[in-house]
Amino acid sequence: MAHDGLRQMNSPVKAPAMYYGCRVAIPHKSDPLNRCAYRTYFVMEYVRGKTAAQLLEGAANDEETKDRIYKQIAFALSELHRIPVPDRSRPAAANGEGIRHGLFSENQCGRHYRNVTELETHFNKFLSMTKAKHRVQNLAQEPMVFCYSDIWLGNFIIGDDDSITVVDFDDASILPSCFSKFVLVGTRYKIHRDIRGMVTVPETEGIDNTSALFDVARPMVMGSGSFGKAGQKLLKSYPRDEPDQVHKAVTDKQGQPVLMTI
């Protein structure tokens, strides 16, 4: 989605093309039930350049160069927010699966939502249970954006021509804009500079649920079990996506499964 969306916008920011992906099953040598470990592999476009981490390390005390690099990162994130999102998109990962975002335990939400209102209702139930100060309000009125939450210096590659490419979209989702604001608060720790004021995030005047998201996040750090239980009680059962298809089992030259000691 990022690759095509940025190209359609004629953006100078790029995301690598993905040519092929597969999920590989590798049996555990020590497991009597012969259960498998799974690994996902992608063949993607090669990106020339150096990561922002490498360039910042080389910049040493050159503050002007450092400022330029951080401005490029901020511009890249702003461009991702401009990617067109289809009307009535539900909150989900960019690939349509469960939400991937740093707010949730292990960066993944275990529940699928049919619409933003269900997400708001779930959050408010949890906020009530934890006696939090804030509540989520009018979440459906916030713009839905392409939210990239894996903001690390190694995920931004800058070429010799000063072009910038964003990589690693595992934690990218379609979400209300407050989720992007939530992520940006952490940039001072993750990339060693607060770039909130440099990134353009679409918003609706008078509506901002970022503080409520932080109230959701605090008890989530202690454990996500109560959040999951609140959703199960409130939203009941829901359809789950089909598991990823295993395209290939790893075998040796004799055609036998490759055993992996873990």
- Looking at per-residue pLDDT, the higher value among 108 and 144 belongs to 144
Q: What is the pLDDT of residues 21-39, one digit of tens each?
A: 888 888 777 777 777 788 8
Residue 35 lies in a domain: no
Residue 80 lies in a domain: yes
Q: How many angstroms separate the CA atoms of 95 and 257, rounded?
A: 30
Q: How many angstroms separate the CA atoms of 179 and 209, rounded?
A: 8
SS3 47: coil
SS3 114: coil
Residue 250 lies in a domain: no
Q: How many angstroms separate the CA atoms of 1 and 145, rounded?
A: 12
Q: Which two tokens stand for residue 230?
A: 């609140």
The whole-number pLDDT of residue 231 equals 57
Q: What is the pLDDT of residues 124-149, one digit of tens each?
A: 999 999 899 999 999 999 999 999 99
Residue 115 lies in a domain: yes
Q: How many angstroms separate the CA atoms of 191 and 153, rounded?
A: 6
Tell me the pLDDT band of 255, cut-offs 50, 70 and 90: low
pLDDT at 243 over 60: no
Residue 66 lies in a domain: yes
Q: What percent of the chain has pLDDT over 70?
A: 84
Q: How many angstroms separate the CA atoms of 214 and 255, rounded?
A: 51
The count of domains in the chain is 1
| CATH number of residue 205's parent domain | 3.90.1200
Residue 216 lies in a domain: yes
- Looking at per-residue pLDDT, the higher value among 168 and 247 belongs to 168
The whole-number pLDDT of residue 71 equals 98
Q: Residue 84's domain spans which residues?
A: 1-15+49-237
H/E segment holding residue 173: strand 172-176
pLDDT at 240 over 70: no
Residue 2 lies in a domain: yes
Q: What percent of the chain has pLDDT over 90?
A: 65
